Structure formats: C-alpha cells, structure tokens
Structure 1
Amino acid sequence: MRFSKFKLVLLALASGVLLALGWPTYGFPLLLFFAFVPLLLAERQLRLSEAKRKGLKIFGLSYLTFVIWNAITTSWLRFADLFGASFAVFVNAALMALIVLIYHKYAKRQSTNRALLFLVVLWISFEKLHLGWEFSWPWLNLGNGFSEYMSWIQWYEYTGTFGGTLWIWILNVLIFKGILSYQDDQSKRVLKSVLLKCAGLIIVPILISFAIYSSYTQEGETVNVIALQPNIDPYSEKYNMTNLNFAELFFELSDSKITDATDFVIAPETFLAESTPLSKFDNSLLKSKFDRYVKAHPNVNLLTGISFYDMFTDKSKIKKETNTYKFTANTWYDDYNAALLINSSNSVQQYNKSKLVVGIENFPYQDILKPILGDALIDLGGTVAMKTTQDYRGVFTASNSKFKVAPIICYESVYGEFVSGYVRNEANFLAIITNDAWWNETQGHKQHLSYAKLRAVETRRDIVRSANTGISAIINAKGEITSRLAYGEKGAVSGQIRTNDTITFYVMAGDYIARISIFILVFVGLIGFFRRKKETS
C-alpha cells in the first residue's frame, strides 16, 4: 500500500491524537494498544520509497506525532511557566522522535522482526533514562497510561509500570505486523488470526488482574489518619504568610477532625513555606507550638512539609546542589524542600526531597548549561534556588514504633522504583505531600493523583495524600480512592488505613524489565549496526 505525502501526515496526526486520547485522566487506554501503528506504517512507507532525505522526513513526521501527544497531555505546565512548558513539550517530543529515527536507521539494515524488537527495547530504555538523568520527565512513560483503570493492572505488583509499557508495545507490534501480512495476501484468515491474538493479549492480562484484585486482602495494623488541604494560593498568599500563621491554620484544620484515636495528621509540601534556618528550628517558637499541640494529643504524629536552609562558611560542607550566597564572600547555603515528623519523642525526624523538578528545584548539567544560560531557573512562586537532596530514602517512625511512613514529596511519587526504596527501608504505609496549585484546574493535578494509585499497587501500601490545593485523598493498596477532598476545597479528610509489611516482587526486583531491555538493546544494536545484512535472493 502506497501513501501520498498528505496521507503520511495524516498517519502521523492519527498516532498523536490516539496517544493523547488514550491518556489519563480523560482518555481510554485501549487506544494506546494501536496508537503507534499509523506512525509505524508511515515510517515503513517512507523507508521503502525512493524519496530523498528520508531520515529528515521520518523525524518530522514523528515529531508531529509526539508534539501533539505532549501538548495535549501536558500543556497544563504553561500555568506554572510558559517557557518551561514549551521546553518540556518540544524537547521531549524531539527525544521521542529521535527514537523513531534510530529505529528507521536500524530497520534499513535488518529484518522486520529484529527491527521491531530493537524499537521496543529502545523505547523502554528511553523511559528508563527519563527516570534517572538530570532532565528527568517520566510523566508520559507509557505504563502510566492505565492509572485510571487499576482493575486492569493489579499485576503491576510484579512488573511495575514497565509491564504496562511492554504490554502496549507488544499489541502495537502485533497489529502492525498483522496489517503488513494482510496487505501481502488480503487473506481474511490472517486478519482473523491477528484479531484473535490481539483480543487474547488484551483480555488475558485483564482477567489475571481481576483475579488478583478479587482475591487480594490486607491484614495489618489500623492507622487513623488526617490529611489537611489548606487551599492556599501559591502565587500570592502562600509566600506572604509566616510559619506561625501556618501553624495556627494547621491546628485549625486538624481540630476539625482529630480524636483521641488519631495517629497521624499530615500537611502538604512546603506547608511551612517561610524559609527557616535549620540550626535554629529545635529552639524556635514554631517548634514549641507544635510541641504543645502534641502534648495535648500525645498519641498523634504530625507530618508536614517545610522549607529549610543551612548557611555555612566551611568549604568542606559544599555539595553538588549547594548554592553560593551572593551577599557575603565565602558563604554558601543548602536549601531544603523537607518533610518533618514531630511527635512525643524528643527528636524531630527530617527527610529532604530528592527527586527534583527540572528547572525549578534543579539546574541540570550545570557545567555545560550555566555558562550559556546563567542562573536561569524557572521562577515558580519564589522557588529559584537549587535544592539539596539526600541519597537515603528516609522513613519516619511513629511514637508507638509500629507505624513507619514514607514521606514522599510531590514529584517523587511519579517514580516507581524510587518509591520502592522507602518500602525496602521498612515503610508500612506511604504519605504523599504535594502542592498542585501551580497548574490551576487542569489535568495536571488530576494526573498527579492518578499516578499515585500506581505506587499503591506496585508496593501494596495504603497511601495518605495531602495536597495544598489539588486533591487530598486516601488510597488503598488496590489503588482505589476511598476518601477525597475536591480541588479548591479547604478542609481535612480523615479515615483509616492499614499497614503492610510484605514486600512485593516489584519492590524486590525494581525496574528489571527496563534493565533486561537495556541489555537486549546493546546486544541487538551491536549486531544490527555493525554486522552487515545478509543478501537475499
């Protein structure tokens, strides 16, 4: 089948629209199972044609597909920063298009089957890269696409989201090859065979998931929790209030739900937004206010986000993310987006956010980019300093020593293997504290909540989610939201969760599908690019 240039463009457009319409929290993920097929057909037609500059045309068509997908699904970023949103959309689309271009170069030298295998492992390896490098942006990793259909993917406790990515690509490859076979002989038998295989590959994993879903039970300690949702405008109100004001708001919201049985009260990311010197916190009026509240409720554990800084003149303390203090010579400071746990014990437990938002909390590849861009971090509500991280996934222990909570801060909740690190460090439930008000009433905060459900299934841990403005919620280990507060609503949500001390296969093995894919990619890539294709008669 031959396509005109116009039809090639239509195929690229179709892939972009199908990917977008298959995405949460508004789409239907069944579309993802064939969304790449039109683009693969366009690439094959160009590859087998006599057209000039094929590589450039393939890149252009692919770029069109992925700009559409990125723009429709993540254009909400513009509410935080137009430049940052544009960078995320156009650069991420370019990286995705580069994958198709590399596949195109490989497919010219190798058989269809080997080339498609190369494409699948290349894409999975790209998603793994997006989880780890300094320009990390895994929002559109394909396995996230099922986050509104948790009953389909209960087997994520074994595979993580890379199982979903592999599932999507297997179906796309099968449908693509089926179309090629049908074009060759126009046989209804071939068409029927492909349809049956596709139906089986979709239905069987879903049936397995339903079986896991219906049989799963959780037996653990009951934890009574409260998640606060202060609903403070981060663009104006939030950074104009003192921490003492926020402390009073904390107590006001908590008092609306607290009982003698309450174990945890959880407040959102940077709830205490006024930057506080780390060395002075223990003896501060702010700390004494929280201590008095705990004394009045001796069984309660208070978990909250706070902004800390630590200023110093000792060069030996300088870390990769340390900032230079511009107003005093030979002075530096670490800026922390932190979580605190305060309870009846004497010590305050602290965790520092370690998966940072690119361009907002983290300046990627400073050695290369800083000479070009200067200190051009995106201004997001006054947050313009590099944040200092920690390597260890800190877990907070309650005053009764039975409850161990993972203090997951905002963007960290998008990273499956990262979150599993808390569970390996004995967290028996998860707390996500976040501030989703930057994106207004868009898909941004809805997708962020939806992705949290993936972490519940991967780790089989209940989740308490406290959002400044967004959706505060309680999520069970099946990924079901059992209680929530609507966007823009001020208040608190309370409920019961259960602890869990079992370790899922995914928590033990991590992103093993991605690691296997990288190994296959290297092996198949070396064969494909450095071994000459055999001549055919």
Structure 2
Amino acid sequence: MLKNKLVLATITGLLLAAGWPTYGLPIFLFFAFIPLLFAEKEIRLSDKKRKGLKSFLLAYLAFLVWNSITTWWIWYSSAFGMFFAILVNTLLMALVFLVFHHVARRLPQRLHLIFLPVIWIAFEKFHLNWDFSWPWLNLGNAFSNHTAWIQWYEYTGVFGGSLWVWIINILLFKIIEKYRENKDRKALSRGIAINVLLFAVPVIISMIILKTYKESSEKVNIVVVQPNVDPYTEKFDQDNVTTTNELVAIAAEKIGPETDFVIAPETTLAMLTPIDKFQFTREKFVLQSLARKYPDINVLTGADMYRLYLNSKERPSKTANKTRRGDWVDYYNAAVLINRDDSLQFYIKSKLVVGVENFPFKSVLEPLLGDIMLDLGGTVATKGIQEERDILISQNKKFKAAPIICYESVYGEYVTDYVKKDANFLAIITNDAWWNNTQGHKQHLSYARLRAIETRRSIARSANTGISAFIDQKGNVLKTLGYELKGSLQASISLNSEKTFYVKYGDYIARLCVLLAGLIFLYAIAIKRKPKASLPPVK
C-alpha cells in the first residue's frame, strides 16, 4: 500500500510540473493535488502509527518532484543555491501540508477542506515577505503564458489564480470521493459539469475583458538595449567608460528624434561607482551625449554603486557593512536616470536575491556561520535597499517610469507601489544570464506579463543577454530580442494613469486567507480531536 501512496505523491509532483510555464499547460494544475489528497486521507484514517510523519514525507516527495523539475536551472548560478532553494522550499510546502493533516484529524471535512486552500495561500503570502523569500512557484504564476485566461488579475492579482486552482482541486476531490462511496454516475457527471463551469466562467469573463479593454492613445517611444555580455567572463572585467561607449553604439541603431527613453539592463555599469559622485564620472557624460544630440531623450540604466561612510562609529544604516579599515559602506544595485538636466535620479533595488545580494537574518547567522555564504558563491556584504518605491520622471515630466530591477518583477503588490506613485509605464531591467539558456530566463519574462495585467501598465524590458521585450497592458508580448543576441529593440507603447482595483487594494485575497487560516487553526486546537473514522471499502 505504501508503494501506491508513493506513486500518488509522485503523480501530484509531475502534474504540478506539467502545468508550469513556459513549457507546460496550466490545465493540469486544476487536478494536480487530488492524488496527494487521497494518499493523505488514507493515512489519516488508517490505524497505523506515525501518520503525521508519513503524510509529511509523501508531501515532501510530491513537492520535491515539482520544485526539481521547475527550478533546477538555478544550478547554473550556484549549485549550493539550487539545492538550498529546492530542498528548503520543498520543506516549507510539506510543512504546510503537515499542518493541514493535523487540522484534518481534528475537524470535519467541510472545515478542513476550506483550511487547506487558505493555509496554502497564507504560506504564499508569507513567502513574499520574509528573508528567504522565494515566491517563484506561487500557484497564480502558472497562468503567465495563458494571459487570455486571467485578465481578471487586474482585480485579484495572482492570488486569484491560486484560489481558482485550489477551489477546483477541492471540489473534484470531493466529487471523486463521493463516487467511490456510492458509484452514482449521475452525481459524478453533475459534479464534473459544475467544475467545468468553474473553469470556463472565469475564462469567458477574461475573454470579454480582453476584447473590451482599450489602451490609451498616449504613447512613449522607447529603445531597449541588449548588450549580451557574459557576466562570468566579461561583464565585471570591463570598465564603465568602455561599456557606455558600446551601449551608445548599440542604441544608436534605433534612436531617432522621436525617442523618449533608452533603457539598458541591470548592472550595465558593473564597476563599482560612488553614488554621491556619479554626477562627475566619465560614464555619466558619455551617456549624456545622447541627450545632447536628442534633447528629449532619457537614459535609464542599471549600475553597481556604493556609499562610503567615513569615521562613523555606529552602523549608519541597517544594511551597512564594515570595512577592514573600520569604516562603513553600503553597496547598491541601482538604476539611474540621465538626461540633459544634470540633476540625476536614482532608484535602489530593494527585493534582493537571497544569498547573492542578501545575507538572510544576518545579525543572527553571521556570527554562527562566518563567511560560509562567501565560500558557497554568495555574499556576506548585504546590499543596501530603500524603504519606499521611487519613480523616474522624464525631462519633460510627461513620462513616469517604474524602475523594476530583476527579481522585483516577481512581486505583484510590490510593483503596485510604483503605480501608486503615478508610474505610467513599467521599465524592467534585468540580467538573466546567470541561468544560461534554460527555463529560468523564460519564466522570468513570462511572469512580467502578470504585472502588466495587474497594473494595466505597458512594459519595456531590457535584459543583458535576453530576452528583452515590449509587453502591452493586456500581457501580450509585442516584440522580443532573443536570448544571446546583441542589439536593440524599438517600440511605442501605451501609457496609463488609471489605477486598477488590484493596485488600490493589493493582496486582499491573501490577507483574508491569513485571517481565515488563523481562525480555523485556533478552532482546531481548541476542540477535542474527532473520533476515528474508517475508509469505505473499495469495490
């Protein structure tokens, strides 16, 4: 019997993986959890010992299969990072399922089958906000390549998609369960028909929104640059002046008098520059040469920067790192806007990649682990952040760009903070070269389409090695420049100043789930455990 349960858990993992972008079909997600639910129920209602451990191990197997197939590509950036991300993320998912198992042993089905979706969504929300944040596999992300299905994300965000997946999984589970008990084919047919409607109605609503939504006629003309520089062998060995001269040459192929923005990737200027003295650097004057030729042009580029605090006895910021000399320094993954006006605008990346840019729980772990993160290919120098989002405003004050750096584009509610500051288009700058030509950079581009729908903002995306792209407000990819190609793209994309329901209210679905999960969990603790039941005989 154990073998059968292992097969069921493996099937769940394979179905979840088969539903993931960019290679998968999300239809598989709507019944992916059912095999694992039946395996857990059989364990829970059995007379065997260690039910919790067995349920946990089955869940771990299912989620290990899913995580491994969908995110193995992290290997190209860091072997340790891949194993850590896969094993720890699997552990967290399995712990969520273990909590469900214990609650299910105490509460009737009508309650514990509500508890499972809400505790899972509460976990997804938690995973957006703590130091080991890794929301890559939040269920609502799975529809990023099928945006015609989820135009209603402008009202719900990705948590609407997560809830949709869970509702259908739970109802199908109950239908199959009842059929196993009474063999009523009519009831089975009715139940399946209801679930088909639960799938079809949101898709139909989405199609209607897709057909009726109209973009603004107001446009911004943008050139995005794709330098295609290998970060392992070239990027950090080239001085910033050489880099900017090459960037200007690439951009010049598409620039004209009508161009409003030139956008270059994350950390294009890879040689560390003092942020307070960038105004006087040669690379700044090279980039400003574009504005001297075309006075309305604004150049947005990524840069590695730092701020040195001399003779400071106390830590000047939460993220400051102590130098060997005893001073303090903040390192920044920044974006800078340059135009013919000498007043520069900066934005500092604030959603940092765990281990690479951020030493999680540094005050606790650093004294215990020392330089282990550095030894494993990460960093002990946590990068600085800024507490609030900033937008970068064009010379003529007409265009307001949301400077979204790399990993930040995975966070829905985070991106809405730019729009609340009146950003009228999104500028994503990234360096996806770390993952080689795998699903990593493809999924990252695909997830950007969700941000377009949630905020109804067009996107200009500049990626170092690709894929650079333009995305409209419906999540349609308009133009791309393929992986490992050098060049530039030009397009005029629509602006928007309206704020969607999701921009205004954010992750309200997740917050309601956190509240409901907490109430059900407390109720489960407060009541006596329900008496044992037995599984119905299988004919």
Query: TM-score scaled by structure 2?
Result: 0.97
- Could you say what secondary structure the match of 1:497 adopts? strand
CA deviation string 1:188-237 (max 9, x = no partner): 01211111111000000000000000000011421110110000000010
Residues 534, 7 of structure 1: CA spacing in aligned structure 2 closer, same or farther, 3 A cutoff?
Answer: closer
| 1:454 and 2:450 correspond | yes
User: 1:535: how far off?
Assistant: 6.6
Partners in 1 of 2:21 and 2:234 — Cα distance?
A: 31
Identity of aligned residues (%): 51
Which residue pairs with 1:285 in the alignment?
Answer: 282
Residues 381, 229 of structure 1: CA spacing in aligned structure 2 closer, same or farther, 3 A cutoff?
Answer: farther
Residues 452, 395 of structure 1: CA spacing in aligned structure 2 closer, same or farther, 3 A cutoff?
Answer: same
| 1:210 and 2:207 correspond | yes
CA deviation string 1:100-150 (max 9, x = no partner): 111110101110110011111100000000100010000000000000000
Amino acid of the residue matched to residue 166 of structure 2?
W
Aligned ranges for residues 348-363 of structure 1 at < 5 Å? Answer: 348-363=344-359
Amino acid of the residue matched to residue 208 of structure 1?
I
1:135 corresponds, among 132, 136, 143, to: 132
Which residue pairs with 2:117 in the alignment?
Answer: 120
| 1:224 and 2:215 correspond | no
CA deviation string 1:6-55 (max 9, x = no partner): 10000000000000000000000000000000000000000011111111
Residues 225, 190 of structure 1: CA spacing in aligned structure 2 closer, same or farther, 3 A cutoff?
Answer: same
User: 1:375: how far off?
Assistant: 2.8
- Could you say what secondary structure the match of 2:350 adopts? coil
Partners in 1 of 2:441 and 2:427 — Cα distance?
A: 17
User: 1:379: how far off?
Assistant: 7.4
| 1:520 and 2:520 correspond | no
User: 1:367: how far off?
Assistant: 2.6
User: 1:93: how far off?
Assistant: 0.2
Residues 173, 299 of structure 1: CA spacing in aligned structure 2 closer, same or farther, 3 A cutoff?
Answer: same
Q: Is the Cα contact below 8 Å between 2:359 and 2:380 reproduced in 1?
A: no
User: 1:319: how far off?
Assistant: 1.4
Amino acid of the residue matched to residue 162 of structure 2?
T
Q: Is the Cα contact below 8 Å between 1:303 and 1:342 reproduced in 2?
A: yes
| 1:408 and 2:394 correspond | no
Aligned ranges for residues 92-171 of structure 1 at < 5 Å? Answer: 92-171=89-168
Which residue pairs with 1:389 in the alignment?
Answer: 385
2:61 corresponds, among 49, 59, 64, to: 64
User: 1:287: how far off?
Assistant: 1.7
Count of equivalent residues: 532
User: 1:316: how far off?
Assistant: 5.3
Q: Is the Cα contact below 8 Å between 1:151 and 1:210 reproduced in 2?
A: yes
Partners in 2 of 1:441 and 1:201 — Cα distance?
A: 37
User: 1:384: how far off?
Assistant: 5.8
Q: Is the Cα contact below 8 Å between 2:156 and 2:507 reproduced in 1?
A: yes
Which residue pairs with 1:195 in the alignment?
Answer: 192
Partners in 2 of 1:382 and 1:195 — Cα distance?
A: 49
CA deviation string 1:126-183 (max 9, x = no partner): 0000100010000000000000000000000000000000000001100111111111
Which residue pairs with 2:271 in the alignment?
Answer: 274
| 1:339 and 2:335 correspond | yes
Amino acid of the residue matched to residue 319 of structure 1?
S
1:8 corresponds, among 5, 8, 29, to: 5
Which range is displaced more, 35-44 or 315-324?
A: 315-324
Amino acid of the residue matched to residue 404 of structure 1?
K
| 1:320 and 2:318 correspond | yes
User: 1:83: how far off?
Assistant: 0.5
Partners in 2 of 1:519 and 1:274 — Cα distance?
A: 47
Q: Is the Cα contact below 8 Å between 2:409 and 2:451 reproduced in 1?
A: yes
1:426 corresponds, among 422, 426, 429, to: 422
Q: Is the Cα contact below 8 Å between 1:431 and 1:465 reproduced in 2?
A: yes
- Please give the root-mean-square deviation of Cα atoms over the aligned residues, in Å: 1.5
| 1:369 and 2:365 correspond | yes
User: 1:383: how far off?
Assistant: 6.4
Partners in 1 of 2:496 and 2:36 — Cα distance?
A: 44
Amino acid of the residue matched to residue 505 of structure 1?
F
Which residue pairs with 1:73 in the alignment?
Answer: 70
Partners in 2 of 1:475 and 1:292 — Cα distance?
A: 28
Q: Is the Cα contact below 8 Å between 1:234 and 1:381 reproduced in 2?
A: no
Which residue pairs with 2:497 in the alignment?
Answer: 501
Q: Is the Cα contact below 8 Å between 2:355 and 2:379 reproduced in 1?
A: no
Amino acid of the residue matched to residue 6 of structure 2?
V
Residues 220, 422 of structure 1: CA spacing in aligned structure 2 closer, same or farther, 3 A cutoff?
Answer: farther
User: 1:278: how far off?
Assistant: 1.8
| 1:175 and 2:181 correspond | no
Partners in 2 of 1:76 and 1:373 — Cα distance?
A: 26
Moved over 3 A (4+): 378-384, 533-537
Partners in 2 of 1:379 and 1:438 — Cα distance?
A: 18
Partners in 2 of 1:222 and 1:381 — Cα distance?
A: 43
Amino acid of the residue matched to residue 431 of structure 1?
A
Which range is displaced more, 263-272 or 111-120?
A: 111-120
Partners in 2 of 1:382 and 1:244 — Cα distance?
A: 27
Amino acid of the residue matched to residue 462 of structure 2?
S
Residues 209, 315 of structure 1: CA spacing in aligned structure 2 closer, same or farther, 3 A cutoff?
Answer: farther
- Could you say what secondary structure the match of 2:389 adopts? coil
User: 1:382: how far off?
Assistant: 8.5
Which residue pairs with 2:473 in the alignment?
Answer: 477
